[in-house]
A = this chain, B = another copy of it.
Amino acid sequence: MSVGAVSRALSADKTLSIREETRERILGAAKMLNYSPNHAARSLRMSSTGLIGLAVHDVSNPLYSDIVAGAQTAAIEAGYVLTLTDADVLATDEEVFRRLVASKAIDGILLQTVDNSADSIIAKTAKTLPVVMVNAESPNPEVGSVTVDDHQAALLATNHLLELGHRKVAYLTIDEHEDRAARRLGGWRDAMIDAGLVPQARWIVNGGHSSEGGMRAMEAIISTPEMPTAVVAANSLIALGAMKACQAAGLQVPDQVSIVGIHDFPTAAYLNPGLTVVSLPLRQLGERAVQLLLDQREGKRPVHEKLSAPAAEVIARGSTGPCPGSTHLR
């Protein structure tokens, strides 16, 4: 019995034929000694680490936790281990980038970024490792990407409000330099136009990507003459800030203003009132991203994919209600 045979027995090599008894003796000894092949040696020899990186902007952003969960599941399924890193650090800190990406400490990386601070690192990365962008469309043919149906989500959110009798529906957008921004804005615009309404430019306010930004944006909406009776927020953190602004201004939600956000998240149901949201298939987004990454590793061409199933869905909670003064019945 030699070291070669042991290695092959432990990795369950089918082409190895030794006596069953010997095989069992090897496996037994390995378990007894709690043996695990050294990661570095294995990686060096096989030029593969079995690790997939997921770079996230703001780990604790509650809107995106499902992406992580989905990626986790899919990675394990495929025999990989998922490790998270801070995307901003990766983009900012040369040394961290070098250690993790350039030196191939991981087999590939999933990039979830909010702004395009990432753009610079994407190109660098793609030269070394397979990359898949998560929840943003790749501008680079060497980099795959997956997105959800942003247009549809905003359309559904707006229609929900329209069905409640609202006519003046404002839109709190996320920063324009994100590609999602335009798609979601388009959804709101199309819903308004389909309903025979004119989407007023003054009803579109930039809400940044935080609750703070949402609050400021809503304050601007409130001071608008002919104030809208309902608001679509491009994401639910912005919606949260909008609710705060209403509360500060003494406006009742949903009696005086209805608010709906995009993306469901754990605390949405615990707000006062509960926040009505449109949910998107983020878990599946995470899973699919891993699969695309693995496909690229096997030499397939990077592709962009828009995930449209499961479909976006309105989850009505307390923050949306009938338009005040409308004849709408519910």
**A residues lining the B interface (CB < 8 Å):** 34, 36-44, 47, 49-51, 53, 58-62, 64-65, 68, 72, 76, 79, 81-86, 89, 93, 95-96, 98-100, 102-105, 127, 211, 215, 240-241, 243-244, 247, 266-267, 269-272
Contact = CB atoms under 8 A, between A and B. Distances in A.
A270 B240 contact: yes
A103 B39 contact: yes
A65 B99 CA distance: 24
A251 to B, nearest CB: 12
B83 A39 contact: no
Contacts of A82: 85-86
A101 B41 CA distance: 14
A49 B105 contact: yes
Contacts of A58: 65
Given A40-B47, A44-B44, A60-B266, 7 more contacts: A38-B103, A40-B41, A42-B103, A59-B84, A62-B62, A62-B267, A81-B99
With most chain B CB atoms within 10 A of its CB, the pick from A50, A60, A272 is: A60
B84 A96 contact: no
A65 B62 CA distance: 11
A131 B84 CA distance: 19
A241 B49 CA distance: 42
A34 B102 contact: yes
Contacts of A79: 95
Contact of A68 (B36, B44, B60, B243): B60
A19 to B, nearest CB: 26
B240 A34 contact: no
B243 A40 contact: no
A38 B83 CA distance: 19
